[in-house]
């Protein structure tokens, strides 16, 4: 395939994003036509996913080894495409009356999806940095999208300030790596270490360099202690953006983390695996414990998504690509992300539907939801069960794989902390269920769900159950996607 063919998914996203922005300007004052903009974005995303599927099995590098076309990158293209699709469906009715600039939103969202696909494909530190900045800037704007809302502004500012510092530190770490190895290409960095030509007085720089890189990646994933921005940004951002932030950038962060560490620093696996295991334990414990006390559902989900990042990290901390076992860690991360995508975005869709109808994000206001909308309460419950990790849902499959990876490499303590956390998390997810089903409501009015939201909720719930009940194709997909260019 030629360059255009190999880059076609990215080009399609770029074209779609720009087209939506241009059409938004062209339709200025013609509100009737502007309603078509989300359809344009959705059509573009579907074409993108189809184009990406043609790259299945292709493994090559592009643009002087700046980017990889491999199964791993393809997996994250799918994640980016699906999560953006669901978020667009979820934001259909959301912005009406909140901001006049609805059209740009879809354009920015598609461009953020492009940033995720680029990040997952980067095989050079320069490219890693550029794609992460691209994603960050898009995210800052999206968080602050409601200009009139002070909370939205506060979230965006915090996100921006933390982000600026984090990316500065990351860049410094990259410069240290360059200083030690003389190259920014991931594969060449690995070769330098593999050859063992480095003298000791330079090698010690690698530990601070890795930790600095981790600060940048951890910021995107919202790992403790780089997470402080996320509760405020999640709560303040327009809820569809929160849904996107909890999945898209997190997935991108994991993609970069895995590719950089596996492709460039396999020589230091003992060091970074130990650091990541420790971070994983702190992250899930802090996320879950703080989530217990939240009364705002968006804030609760913010902390819960920090906790989920911790679980996902179990998989990567336990990575063992050469292990004969089926649980090599990376496939666990991918499966977890896939299930988490549907379940978490699904939960947010339900939250948006409730917010649209009642204007509230307070958990006690969910009281009696089973009477007001059995469908919303039922699907939200299934999705919460998935986040809890109850079998027959996608969430269980992900947990199963990451815990299995930890046991596979004999990280028993890590697995133990993981399951203790899974039990803690049940408290706050079931607390929402308690309000929905057990507590009678003051309000009796029906909670109406807009068609687009109903479709998104239906897709998310269906996919959550499908992955849980018939996981075979998804496991195969994840197993294939472990194939990183130049690593495996």
Partner 1 sequence: MDFPILTLITFVPLLGSLIVLCMPKEKERLIKQFSIAVSFIPLILSILLWVNLEKGGGIQFEELVAWIPAIRVNYHVGADGLSVPLIFLTALLTTLSLFYSSFTIKNRVKEFFFLFLLLEMGMFGVFVSLDFVLFYVFWEIGLVPMYFLIGVWGGPRREYAAIKFFIYTLVGSVAMLLAIIGIYLNTGTFDIIQAAAMRPFVENFTLGALAFWAIFLAFAIKVPMFPFHTWLPDAHVEAPTAGSVILAGILLKLGCYGFFRVLLPMFPEQFHRFAPIIAVLAVISIVYGAMVSMAQWDLKKLIAYSSVSHMGYVMLGLAAAAFAIGSKDMLTSQAIAMNGAVFQMFNHGIITGALFFLVGVIYERAHTRDLKAFGGLASKVPYYYGIMLVAGLASLGLPGLAGFWGEFFVFRGTFAIAPVYAAVGVIGIVFTAAYILWKVIQHVFLGPFNEKWANLTDMETYEKITLWPLVIFMVLFGLYPPLIVDTINAAMTRLLSGL
Residues of this chain that interact with partner 1 (CB under 8 A) are: 325-327, 370, 385, 390-392, 400, 403-404, 407-408, 412, 415-416, 419, 422-423, 426-427, 430, 434, 437-439, 471-472, 475-476, 479
**H or E element at residue 178:** helix 150-181
Q: How near is the Cβ of 277 to partner 1 at its closest, in Å?
A: 16
Q: Shortest gap between Cβ of 318 and partner 1 (angstroms)?
A: 12
Burial classification of residue 107, based on how many CB atoms lie within 10 Å of its CB (0-12 exposed, 13-18 middle, 19 or more buried): buried
Which C-beta is closer to partner 1: that of 130 or that of 430? Answer: 430
Rounded to 10 degrees, what is the CA torsion of 189, 194, 195, 201?
70
Q: Which is nearer to partner 1, 33 or 371 (CB)?
A: 371
Least distance from C-beta 361 to partner 1, angstroms? 22
Q: Which is nearer to partner 1, 390 or 450 (CB)?
A: 390
Distance of closest approach, residue 469 Cβ to partner 1, in angstroms:
9
**Nearest residue (CB) to partner 1, 416 versus 455:** 416
The residue among 15 and 475 lying less far from partner 1, judged by its C-beta, is 475
Say which residues have a Cβ less than 8 Å from residue 253's Cβ, sequence separation at least 6. 217, 218, 219, 220, 221
Do 348 and 387 touch, CB atoms closer than 8 A? no
Tokens of 301: 């989900």
Q: How far apart are CA 228 and CA 259, in angstroms?
A: 25
Angle formed by the axes of helices 150-181 and 229-236, to 10°? 140
Q: Collapsing DSSP states into helix, strand and coil, what is residue 61? A: strand
Whose Cβ is closer to partner 1: residue 249's or residue 471's? 471
d(CA 246, CA 348): 9
As measured in angstroms, the least distance from the Cβ of 471 to partner 1 is: 5
Distance CA 296, CA 312 (A): 24
What does DSSP say about strands 60-62 and 67-69: parallel, antiparallel, or unpaired? antiparallel
In angstroms, the CA 76 to CA 257 distance is 13
Q: In angstroms, how far apart are the furthest CA atoms of the chain?
A: 73
* Triad 327, 329, 331: Cα angle to 5°: 80
Considering the complex, state which of residue 200 and residue 324 has its C-beta at the smaller distance from partner 1.
324
As measured in angstroms, the least distance from the Cβ of 409 to partner 1 is 10
The dihedral of CA 227, 232, 238, 243: what is its sign?
positive
Shortest spacing between CB 283 and partner 1, in angstroms: 18
Nearer to partner 1, 274 or 419 (CB): 419
- Taking the complex as a whole, the smallest distance from the CB of residue 439 to partner 1 amounts, in Å, to 8
**What end-to-end distance do the CA atoms of the chain give, in Å?**
22
């Amino acid at each position: 395939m030629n360059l255009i063919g190999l880059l076609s998914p990215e080009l399609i996203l770029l074209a779609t994003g720009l087209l939506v922005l241009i059409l938004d300007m062209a339709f200025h004052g013609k509100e009737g036509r502007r309603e078509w903009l989300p359809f344009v974005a959705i059509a573009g995303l579907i074409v993108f996913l189809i184009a990406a599927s043609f790259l299945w099995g292709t493994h090559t590098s592009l643009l002087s080894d700046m980017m990889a076309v491999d199964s791993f990158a393809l997996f994250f293209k799918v994640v980016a495409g699906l999560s953006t699709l669901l978020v667009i469906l979820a934001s259909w009715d959301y912005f009406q009356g909140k901001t006049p600039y609805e059209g740009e939103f879809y354009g920015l969202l598609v461009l953020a999806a492009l940033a995720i696909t680029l990040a997952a494909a980067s095989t050079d530190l320069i490219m890693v940095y550029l794609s992460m900045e691209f994603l960050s800037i898009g995210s800052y704007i999206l968080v602050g999208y409601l200009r009139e809302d002070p909370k939205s502004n506060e979230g965006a500012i915090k996100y921006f300030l933390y982000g600026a510092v984090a990316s500065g530190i990351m860049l410094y770490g990259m410069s240290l790596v360059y200083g030690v190895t003389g190259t920014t290409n991931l594969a060449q960095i690995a070769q330098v270490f593999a050859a063992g030509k480095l003298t000791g007085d330079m090698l010690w720089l690698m530990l601070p360099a890795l930790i600095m890189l981790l600060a940048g990646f951890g910021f995107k994933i919202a790992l403790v202690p780089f997470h402080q921005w996320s509760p405020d940004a999640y709560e303040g951002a327009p809820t569809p953006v929160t849904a996107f932030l909890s999945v898209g950038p997190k997935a991108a962060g994991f993609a970069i983390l895995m590719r950089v560490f596996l492709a460039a620093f396999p020589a230091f696996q003992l060091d970074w695996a130990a650091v990541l295991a420790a971070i994983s334990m702190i992250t899930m414990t802090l996320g879950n414990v703080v989530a217990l006390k939240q009364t705002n559902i968006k804030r609760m989900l913010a902390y819960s998504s920090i906790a989920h990042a911790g679980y996902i990290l179990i998989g990567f901390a336990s990575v063992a690509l050469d292990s004969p076992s089926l649980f090599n860690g990376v496939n666990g991360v991918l499966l977890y992300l896939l299930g988490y995508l549907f379940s978490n975005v699904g939960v947010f869709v339900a939250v948006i539907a409730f917010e649209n109808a009642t204007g509230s994000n307070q958990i006690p206001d969910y009281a009696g939801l089973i009477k007001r909308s059995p469908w919303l309460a039922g699907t939200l419950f299934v999705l919460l069960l998935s986040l809890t990790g109850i079998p027959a849902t996608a969430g269980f499959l992900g947990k199963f794989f990451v815990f299995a990876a930890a046991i596979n490499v004999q990280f028993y303590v890590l697995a133990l902390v993981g399951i203790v956390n899974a039990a803690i998390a049940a408290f706050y997810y079931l607390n929402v269920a308690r309000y929905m089903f057990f507590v009678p409501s003051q309000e009796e009015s029906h909670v109406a769900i807009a068609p687009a939201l109903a479709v998104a909720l239906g897709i998310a719930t269906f996919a959550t159950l499908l992955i849980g009940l018939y996981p075979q194709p998804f496991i195969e997909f994840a197993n294939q996607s472990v194939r990183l260019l130049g690593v495996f």
